[in-house]
Amino acid sequence: MKKLHDIDLMEHADGEADHGDLLRDPAARAKVEGLGELGELLRGHLELSADAVPSARFEQVWDAVDKGIAQPEKRRGVWHSIGAWFERYRGHVITGVVSAGAVAALALVLRGSPGSDGPIANHGTGSPTVTPVAYRPTEIESLDTPGGDSTVFNLDDEDGPATVIWVTPADTVEGI
Amino acid sequence: MNKEGPRASTGREPVDDHELVDAARKGDRDAFRTLFDRYHRRAYALAFGVLRHQDDALDVVQDAFIKAHKYLDKFEGNSSFYTWLYRIVMNLAIDHLRKHRRVKPVELDEQKLDEATGDDALLPQILGGNPGRALMDKQIRARIDQALETLSDNHRAVLIMRELEGMSYEEMAQAMGCSKGTIMSRLFHARKNMQRQLVDLVERAPANDVDEDAAASGSRR
């Protein structure tokens, strides 16, 4: 049979292990009772020590606690309110942000390649320059004109882009 | 520890701790005051048992309630409010020991557990099974104070956690950041040393210098 020691008795007394068979021995039983006695002595002593502190002293402690819990509330202010609102509506906010992002991404895809006439151009040094996006009419490169010839001029000057279409009928004699 | 604060005796129906916590979360200062009234002395007994210094213990109680209020949102209600509070008190008391006290260089728990397993390590009853009566004796209480003082901080903390709050070995191990075996060893040595220092009180158990308050409190137990 395994030899049990006082530490096993202590485990049993504390309810951490079951060594009930030990208690058949009167000496072991007396030791367990001794542990209980010591515990009761300490509990009683500490509770009496707590009772001996004047209530006024605890009132001072409460005053300090009261101040301690009031200050953070004052400091919180607007940011705390925003934080609390976000905490409360976190799900809605995240859903909204994701939805907006998806819509923006879709819009970018549908708009076509961003390299053709993107609004931001970087000229190498300094800050990026934002170029306003101007309206550009549809560019005509050629024109079929039955019964004649046509010439298309695309002009781009300080007044903006312009297209000139020159049509020459087939029966027209040049110079007349 | 039956004294209640002024707000606890206003004639209102007793309110459940969880309701008070809910109200305090919503900013009800009176609800938190009621929680303070209910538990400040118990929290103090725990802190005082570990720290052995009234002002330090009161500081810990103050900090514990402020911290409890700050983290009320994190109190899930799976355990009682006091169980949650005493963990805060215990952690603060242990932190206080670490920060402000010198650590005694050699502690008995550094010895191997096997050394504590001598057959005569623990003592049988020393107070004739009547500790309440022994507590009426001021000199016996002074001796208990002295005996607690001689324990190392770690031994005393474990003893108080176990005897005052009934914490399990596992809970104490978590609170103190050590193994369950170390807790067992500390507890064993703390108890053994306390018994050794109090053994000569056996003959004194009948009170001859009775503290009136203690007599009243002793009769409650």
> DSSP assignment of A57-98, as one string?
HHHHHHHHHHHHHHHHHHHHHHHHHHHHHHHHTHHHHHHHHH
Q: Which of B65, B83, B100 corresponds to the end of one domain? A: B100
Of A34, A57, A58, the CB nearest to B122: A34
Domain count, chain A: 3
Q: B44 in contact with A at a CB cutoff of 8 Å? A: yes
Scanning B124-153 for CB atoms below 8 A from A yields: 124-127, 129, 131-132, 134-135, 141, 144-145, 148
Q: Which of B50, B80, B100 corresponds to the end of one domain? A: B100
Work out the minimum CA distance from A98 to partner chain B, whole angstroms.
28
Does residue A80 sit in the same domain as residue A93? yes
Domain span holding position A158: 140-170
Q: CATH no. for residue B160?
A: 1.10.10.10
Does residue A59 sit in the same domain as residue A100? yes
Does residue B46 sit in the same domain as residue B115? no
- Kindly state whether residue B79 falls inside one of the protein's structural domains: yes
Mutation for testing the A interface, residue in B4, B42, B46, B62 having most A CBs under 10 Å? B62
CB contact under 8 A, B40 and A47: no
Give the residue on A whose Cα is nearest the Cα of B197.
Answer: A38
Q: B102 in contact with A at a CB cutoff of 8 Å? A: no
Q: B174 in contact with A at a CB cutoff of 8 Å? A: no
Q: How many CB pairs under 8 A join A and B?
A: 162
Mutation for testing the B interface, residue in A4, A58, A67, A87 having most B CBs under 10 Å? A58
CB contact under 8 A, A5 and B118: yes
Confidence grade of residue B208 (pLDDT, cut at 50, 70, 90): very low
Q: By C-alpha distance, which of B201, B207, B46, B187 is closest to A49?
A: B46
Does residue A44 sit in the same domain as residue A66? no
Does residue B117 sit in the same domain as residue B164? yes
- Kindly state whether residue B1 falls inside one of the protein's structural domains: no
Does residue B64 sit in the same domain as residue B153? no
Does residue A43 sit in the same domain as residue A62? no
Does residue B13 sit in the same domain as residue B54? yes
The predicted pLDDT at position B99 comes to: 84
pLDDT in tens, A65-112: 999 988 655 555 556 566 656 665 667 777 788 888 888 888 888 876
Counted residue by residue, chain A has a size of 176
Domain count, chain B: 2
Does residue A61 sit in the same domain as residue A92? yes
Q: B207 in contact with A at a CB cutoff of 8 Å? A: no
- Kindly state whether residue A130 falls inside one of the protein's structural domains: no
Domain span holding position B29: 6-100
Q: Are the CB atoms for A38 and B192 separated by under 8 Å?
A: no
Residue A153 tokens, joined: 């001029």
pLDDT in tens, B68-118: 999 998 888 777 898 899 889 989 998 998 887 655 544 554 444 444 444
- Kindly state whether residue A82 falls inside one of the protein's structural domains: yes
The predicted pLDDT at position B198 comes to: 84
CB contact under 8 A, B118 and A6: yes
pLDDT in tens, A24-55: 888 888 888 888 888 998 999 999 999 999 99
Distance, CA of B1 to CA of A49 (rounded, Å)? 9
Residue B114 tokens, joined: 């096997």
- Kindly state whether residue A42 falls inside one of the protein's structural domains: yes
CB contact under 8 A, B126 and A37: yes
Q: Is the pTM of this model over 0.80?
A: no
Does residue B61 sit in the same domain as residue B145? no
- Kindly state whether residue B149 falls inside one of the protein's structural domains: yes
Q: B8 in contact with A at a CB cutoff of 8 Å? A: no
> Which residues of chain A are within 8 Å of residue B111 when distances are taken between CB atoms?
none
Q: Which of B36, B68, B100 corresponds to the end of one domain? A: B100
- Kindly state whether residue B154 falls inside one of the protein's structural domains: yes
Does residue A35 sit in the same domain as residue A71? no
Does residue B96 sit in the same domain as residue B139? no
pLDDT in tens, B16-38: 899 999 999 989 999 999 999 99
Distance, CA of A161 to CA of A77 (rounded, Å)? 56
